[in-house]
Protein backbone atom coordinates (compact mmCIF):
# COMPACT_ATOMS: atom_id res chain seq x y z
CA UNK A 1 0.00 0.00 0.00
CA UNK A 2 1.08 3.55 -0.75
CA UNK A 3 -0.30 6.93 0.27
CA UNK A 4 -0.01 10.20 -1.57
CA UNK A 5 -1.39 13.69 -1.15
CA UNK A 6 -3.00 15.51 -4.06
CA UNK A 7 -1.25 18.91 -3.95
CA UNK A 8 -4.12 20.57 -5.81
CA UNK A 9 -6.55 19.55 -3.08
CA UNK A 10 -4.46 19.85 0.10
CA UNK A 11 -5.29 23.01 2.03
CA UNK A 12 -2.99 22.35 4.95
CA UNK A 13 -5.53 21.07 7.48
CA UNK A 14 -2.79 18.76 8.83
CA UNK A 15 -5.34 16.17 9.88
CA UNK A 16 -3.24 13.47 8.21
CA UNK A 17 -0.07 14.66 9.88
CA UNK A 18 -1.65 14.77 13.33
CA UNK A 19 -3.16 11.27 12.94
CA UNK A 20 -0.23 9.58 11.21
CA UNK A 21 2.96 11.63 11.58
CA UNK A 22 4.95 8.57 10.49
CA UNK A 23 3.39 8.69 7.02
CA UNK A 24 3.31 12.39 6.17
CA UNK A 25 5.58 15.42 6.06
CA UNK A 26 4.40 19.01 6.13
CA UNK A 27 6.26 21.97 4.69
CA UNK A 28 6.74 25.40 6.27
CA UNK A 29 3.31 26.42 5.01
CA UNK A 30 1.60 23.38 6.48
CA UNK A 31 0.96 21.59 3.19
CA UNK A 32 1.34 17.82 3.39
CA UNK A 33 3.17 15.27 1.29
CA UNK A 34 3.68 11.56 1.78
CA UNK A 35 6.83 10.75 3.74
CA UNK A 36 9.50 9.06 1.65
CA UNK A 37 8.04 7.27 -1.36
CA UNK A 38 4.68 6.85 0.35
CA UNK A 39 5.06 3.16 1.11
CA UNK A 40 2.92 2.19 4.07
CA UNK A 41 4.44 -0.43 6.39
CA UNK A 42 1.99 -3.19 7.28
CA UNK A 43 1.65 -1.97 10.87
CA UNK A 44 0.60 1.50 9.70
CA UNK A 45 -2.13 0.45 7.24
CA UNK A 46 -4.82 1.35 9.76
CA UNK A 47 -3.33 4.80 10.30
CA UNK A 48 -3.11 5.40 6.56
CA UNK A 49 -6.79 4.59 6.17
CA UNK A 50 -7.62 6.81 9.12
CA UNK A 51 -5.72 9.71 7.57
CA UNK A 52 -7.58 9.27 4.29
CA UNK A 53 -10.95 9.10 6.07
CA UNK A 54 -10.33 12.32 7.99
CA UNK A 55 -9.17 14.63 5.22
CA UNK A 56 -11.88 17.22 4.65
CA UNK A 57 -10.48 17.94 1.19
CA UNK A 58 -10.32 14.28 0.05
CA UNK A 59 -6.66 14.99 -0.70
CA UNK A 60 -5.16 11.87 0.91
CA UNK A 61 -5.21 9.03 -1.60
CA UNK A 62 -4.43 5.37 -1.00
CA UNK A 63 -3.00 3.41 -3.94
CA UNK A 64 -2.37 -0.29 -4.41
CA UNK A 65 -4.97 -1.21 -1.86
CA UNK A 66 -4.91 -4.85 -0.84
Give the footprint of another protein on this chain (CB under 8 A).
Answer: 11-15, 17-19, 26-30, 50, 53-58
Taking the least distance from each CB to another protein, the nearer of 19 and 23 is: 19
Q: Nearest distance from residue 64's CB to another protein, in Å?
A: 21
CA distance 59 to 4: 8
Q: Nearest distance from residue 36's CB to another protein, in Å?
A: 18
Q: Nearest distance from residue 12's CB to another protein, in Å?
A: 6
Residue 28 has φ and ψ, to the nearest 5°, of: -60, -20
The HSE-up count of residue 44 (CA atoms within 13 Å, CB side) is 19
Amino acid sequence: MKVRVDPDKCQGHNRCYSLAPELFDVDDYGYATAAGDGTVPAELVGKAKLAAANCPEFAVIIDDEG
